Amino acid sequence: MGRQEIRIFSRVKPTGKEKGIYSIGNEEAGSSFLEVVVPRDLSDGFINNKRESYKFRFQETFDQDVKQETIFDRIAKPVAESVLTGYNGTIFAYGQTGSGKTFTITGGAERFSDRGIIPRTLAYIFEQFGKDSSKVYTLHVSYLEIYNECGYDLLDPKHEASKLEDLPKVTIMEDPDQNIHLKNLSLQQARNEEEALNLLFLGDTNRMIAETPMNQASTRSHCIFTIHITSKEPGSAMVRRSKLHLVDLAGSERVAKSGIGGQLLTEAKYINLSLHYLEQVIIALAEKNRSHIPYRNSMMTSVLRDSLGGNCMTTMIATLSVEKRNIDESISTCRFAQRVALIKNEAILNEEIDPQLMIVHLRKEIQALKDELAMVTGEQRAEELTEEEIVRVEQQVGAFLEDRDPESTLEIGADMRKITYCFAFLKKLLNEQNKEVICASSLGNERPGSSAAQPQEIQKLRDLLQQRDNEINILVSMLKKEKKRTQDRLLEISSPGLNSIPSTLEGRDVISSVEGGFRSLASSGVLDELEIRSREQSFNSFHRITGNDMSVGRQEAFEIFKRDYPDRVSIEDNKRLLKQRFAEAKSLGEEVNKVRTRINQLKGEVEQRRIQRAALGVSGSTDELHQYDRVEEELRLQMEEEKKRYKSLFNHLKNLKTEIEHLQLLLERAKVKLQKDFEVWWSQEAAHAQSKQEVPLRRQSESTSKIHYQIRASRLSDSPIPLTGDSQTDADILAFVRARQNLMQRKGK
């Protein structure tokens, strides 16, 4: 791609006032300028030599009304496209505290349209993955936080930390080629957009945020969200690896202006020091003939070594707060951006050969060269082939003949003894095949319609019938169990004598349910002897049977097994509890949003109260400014109470999240255990049915045929089901009818 300069953009934070301080214009295609006008300060005197306007050039300047979607399309989308093709990319935001860096990179949480560059980039990358089917893509993410010059892994897979100190510390290691490696920084694979966003949200919850006089939710650390992409074409040994750094720098701030102290003061010192080292690196890179670049001064500049003067396409976003009190910091940010624009990076395509495929290819090439060398030298072997070598050659020839791939090859090496034996063996197989064809043609005159493939298909039919017979035996055993369960209910409805049984089966509903049950039973594989014989003679019906899918009979057995499963009650309780916890989490989330809105409202009222007092102090006496304001104090107390409530609700919501994830894990494990237990039970029942299929299966088939005949006869005559007179058969009819009725009722529910 060649050397190219770092692209710089500027974005003005929406303030709603003081728009006369700056102006935006376009000088030529592909660039724009931002002019900042410094308001005159009367305290400096009427005549002073201070500069009143500054003009800076950017690739594009975004005003206050520009939406997040436009920012992504103009800035991040071109970089994401180059990363998909195999180039490294970096996007970082620079500016003072409260100028909108985190909002630009990560986005806001109130509206879906406020998504920042990171979630939109993830959505765009996975969308391109789905469109491009010519390559196989793999995506991993990492999230590094640099707080007080110490690195922390925000995506620790072992646990979710409650404190920053609980997270694993990341250290920098450098190899002899001066490549940077980050120890203890985990790479998490994301298979879809949802998993990637969950990792982003997990990292944001662990990030260090504090309230300062300049910003209510100030990020007190530098964060680098890195997307690693690997692409490979199927069958190719070439692999492309690229990475995209999305950097949210902590905001610079003047300690004298913010008036902070304690821990916030320590954080501000480290932040300003790391940004100072970043500026030193930028100045050194912009200077020509500079031999030493101070990358090692800070951890952030060491991590971003490739992004600043290396193999990377880098883009900078300068965020500006153009209020009168922040005009000096905005001018300083623009000056820094102008120095960054002087740096040139050389991005190259990151392609490499897959080591495993290369090893296999080299081994094949070495063996081929050895065989070719042996053939050229004419090395003769006096000994004959051993029995093992003969068996191996015959197996290779047989596998070659059975392989339907037209591009398959027979690889037996360059040994002339093996080559000669292969030709002799192939000739022998061809002669035997010709003899079989002659015999089949002579037999075909006596028995027309026979073919060489008939025995194989007959064997397949027998195997299929064996499988169906096993299913029939399992269903029959289950029907006997259902008969025992429904016998007590039956005695309550009907009289003890067998002659009164037909009266309980009168009515169209019972007959229709029985007919439906027999239709379902027939579709699941319970066929009479005539149908079995017809299946042995029909090859077309065999090809329509899908033995790999779960049959209807097996599905019905699974439903009954699930109903009697010992852990069914606990599974249902966990489902009900999970639903309840979801409802509680939703209610808590709404309550948290309401409390946060109330806090912002109270804060606005306090600010408004202060502005009013300041205005009264200007117009009246200065004593009013120092008087005790009871209303303001009450508002501050209310705000403190709301903050405590917000923290309590947020902790409760976090605990609910942990409980929901635990319940989901329990349900998933129960589902897997249920499937495994059913497979074990089904295999045991099938083995038991197969061992006793000869005599009991014939009896059961005759009994089933009698039941089938009785049901169909009653349907044609539109009368109650007549019984056979055999007490065992009549009891089976009644038990089967009741079992099918119960099963149909459960399915209806």
pLDDT tens per residue, range 251-266: 776 655 555 556 777 7
What pLDDT is recorded for position 1?
62
Helical ranges in 72-191 per DSSP H: 77-84, 101-105, 117-131
Contact 732, 711 (CB under 8 A): no
**Strands 136-147 vs 188-189: parallel, antiparallel or unpaired:** antiparallel
For 539, residues 6+ apart whose C-beta sits below 8 A from its C-beta are 457, 461
Q: Is the pLDDT of residue 142 over 60?
A: yes
Cα–Cα distance for residue pair 423/523, rounded to 1 Å:
52
Which of 52-66, 599-613, 688-702 shows the lowest per-residue confidence on average (mean pLDDT)?
A: 688-702
Q: Which residue has the higher pLDDT, 630 or 691?
A: 630
Local confidence band at 123 (pLDDT 50, 70, 90 cut-offs): very high
Question: pLDDT > 70: what percent of the chain?
Answer: 70
What pLDDT is recorded for position 514?
36
Model pLDDT for residues 506-560, shown as the tens digit of each residue: 333 433 433 444 344 333 333 333 333 333 343 333 333 333 445 666 777 777 7
Cα–Cα distance for residue pair 221/145, rounded to 1 Å:
7
Closest Cα partner for 694 from 366, 515, 469?
469
Model pLDDT for residues 438-492, shown as the tens digit of each residue: 776 665 555 544 444 467 778 888 888 777 777 777 777 777 776 676 665 655 5
For 103, residues 6+ apart whose C-beta sits below 8 A from its C-beta are 114, 116
Contact 90, 312 (CB under 8 A): yes
Q: Is the pLDDT of residue 168 over 50?
A: yes
Contact 693, 469 (CB under 8 A): yes
| Residue 619 counted as an annotated binding residue | no
| Residue 96 counted as an annotated binding residue | yes
Strand, coil or helix: 375 = helix
Strand, coil or helix: 244 = strand
Local confidence band at 137 (pLDDT 50, 70, 90 cut-offs): very high
pTM, whole model, 2 decimals? 0.50
Model pLDDT for residues 339-388, shown as the tens digit of each residue: 888 888 888 888 888 777 788 888 888 877 777 766 766 655 555 778 88
Model pLDDT for residues 654-682, shown as the tens digit of each residue: 888 888 888 888 888 888 888 888 888 87
Q: How far is CA 535 from the centre of its chain?
A: 47
Q: Which residue has the higher pLDDT, 692 or 105?
A: 105
> What are the structure tokens assigned to 680, written together?
């074990």
| Residue 95 counted as an annotated binding residue | yes
Q: Is the pLDDT of residue 127 over 70?
A: yes
Which of 146-160, 485-499, 633-647, 655-669 shows the lowest per-residue confidence on average (mean pLDDT)?
A: 485-499
> What are the structure tokens assigned to 491, written together?
């005695």
| Residue 102 counted as an annotated binding residue | yes
DSSP state of 683: H
Backbone angles phi, psi at 4, to 5 degrees: -150, 155
Backbone angles phi, psi at 162, to 5 degrees: -95, -20
Sheet holding 22-28, edge to edge: 22-28, 31-37, 53-58
Local confidence band at 215 (pLDDT 50, 70, 90 cut-offs): very low
As a whole number, mean pLDDT of residues 628-634 equals 80
Contacts of 235-239 with C-beta under 8 Å, sequence gap 24+, read: 237/353, 237/354, 237/357, 237/358, 237/361, 238/351, 238/352, 238/353, 238/354, 239/351, 239/352, 239/353, 239/354
Local confidence band at 15 (pLDDT 50, 70, 90 cut-offs): confident
Residue with tokens 């912009």: 286
Closest Cα partner for 274 from 326, 312, 221, 319?
221
Cα–Cα distance for residue pair 733/706, rounded to 1 Å:
9
Contact 317, 91 (CB under 8 A): yes
Local confidence band at 415 (pLDDT 50, 70, 90 cut-offs): confident
Cα–Cα distance for residue pair 62/67, rounded to 1 Å:
9
Backbone angles phi, psi at 136, to 5 degrees: -105, 120
What pLDDT is recorded for position 523?
39
What pLDDT is recorded for position 89?
92
Model pLDDT for residues 196-208, shown as the tens digit of each residue: 999 998 888 877 6
Closest Cα partner for 54 from 318, 330, 343, 319?
330
Q: Is the pLDDT of residue 561 over 70?
A: yes
Structural domain boundaries in the chain: 3-353, 355-442, 498-746
Cα–Cα distance for residue pair 165/336, rounded to 1 Å:
33
Q: Which residue has the higher pLDDT, 483 or 633?
A: 633
Closest Cα partner for 7 from 24, 31, 29, 35?
31
Contacts of 16-23 with C-beta under 8 Å, sequence gap 24+, read: 16/64, 17/323, 18/322, 18/323, 18/324, 19/64, 19/322, 21/322, 21/323, 21/324, 21/327, 22/320, 22/322
| Residue 262 counted as an annotated binding residue | no
Distances (CA, A) of 575 to 580, 587, 599: 9, 19, 36
Which of 14-23, 135-144, 436-445 shows the lowest per-residue confidence on average (mean pLDDT)?
A: 436-445
Model pLDDT for residues 239-295, shown as the tens digit of each residue: 899 999 999 888 776 655 555 556 777 777 778 788 888 888 888 887 777 778 888
Q: Is the pLDDT of residue 236 over 70?
A: yes
Packing angle, helices 727-748 and 508-523, rounded to 10: 90
> What are the structure tokens assigned to 88, written together?
């490294």
Domain 3-353 homologous superfamily, CATH: Kinesin motor domain (3.40.850.10)
What pLDDT is recorded for position 104?
92
Query: Mean pLDDT, the chain, as a whole number?
Result: 75
> What are the structure tokens assigned to 474, written together?
């399992």
Q: Which residue has the higher pLDDT, 88 or 734?
A: 88
Local confidence band at 498 (pLDDT 50, 70, 90 cut-offs): very low
